[in-house]
Copies of this chain bind each other. A is one copy, B any other.
Amino acid sequence: MVNRKGEQTKALILEKASKIFNSQGYRASSISDIMHETGLQKGGIYNHFENKEEIMLSAFSFSIDTMSHFFSEAMAGKQGYMERLHSIISVFEGIAERELFPGGCPIMNAAIEADDADPLLQEKVREAMDGLLGMVCNLVQEGIKKGEVKQGVDPEFVATVLISTLEGALALSKLYKSQEYMKRAVHHLRSFLAQNCA
């Protein structure tokens, strides 16, 4: 019973902390912010985490798990590789439209913030971005093997174009609180995939 309650508290801390860090930044957010949002005392937080660094890294992982879940959901039931590539675009469109992450894309936000002063966070951000770029690369490679994607298409080129454009457009849509930027990027990338890959 105690363990289960402990797990629930830990999950609450991660849920709230991930939103705070993603909105306000990792360095600029304090334990007081997390105390305020969770209603917990400092001791109630440090029961579950050794220090702020551990909360930061765990909260980042929590955001990435949430994102991965959106991609898995979007891929479910999609058979073709082109269809799956298009569903990555749709996930970003959904993130912008429904403001699924207050503060914008967790990977991009942490990428902008993390630098050599935060080697552990930077390493985790690179792993998360590797996952995102790698997902596109794999779909292109498998699509080529199955004859659904044109021979000779460079998977890393497609991954860079898709992810750069989607991340940039998500940031613009957030800045202006307008879906127009994401809509234009989506239109552009669907044409790009149709012209270059299919």
Asked if A198 is an interface residue, CB under 8 A from chain B, the answer is: no
Q: Which residues does chain B contribute within 8 Å of A111, judged by CB atoms?
A: 171-172, 174-175
Interface residues on A, range: 35 or more
Q: Give Cα A77–Cα B159 distance, bound, in whole angstroms.
A: 35
Q: A117 → chain B, closest Cβ, in Å?
A: 7
Q: Give Cα A27–Cα B108 distance, bound, in whole angstroms.
A: 18
Q: Give Cα A157–Cα B166 distance, bound, in whole angstroms.
A: 14
Copies in the complex: 2
Q: Give Cα A30–Cα B104 distance, bound, in whole angstroms.
A: 25
Q: Which residues does chain B contribute within 8 Å of A176, judged by CB atoms?
A: 126, 129
In A140-173, the 8 Å CB interface with B consists of: 156-157, 160-161, 163-169, 171-172
Q: Which residues does chain B contribute within 8 Å of A175, judged by CB atoms?
A: 111, 114, 122, 125-126, 129
Q: Which residues does chain B contribute within 8 Å of A125, judged by CB atoms?
A: 175
Question: Footprint of B on A, CB under 8 Å?
Answer: 23-25, 27-28, 103-104, 108-109, 111-115, 117, 122, 125-126, 129, 156-157, 160-161, 163-169, 171-172, 174-176, 180-181, 184-185, 187-188, 192
Shortest 6 CB-CB contacts between residues of A and residues of B: A164-B168, A27-B28, A168-B168, A167-B168, A160-B184, A164-B169
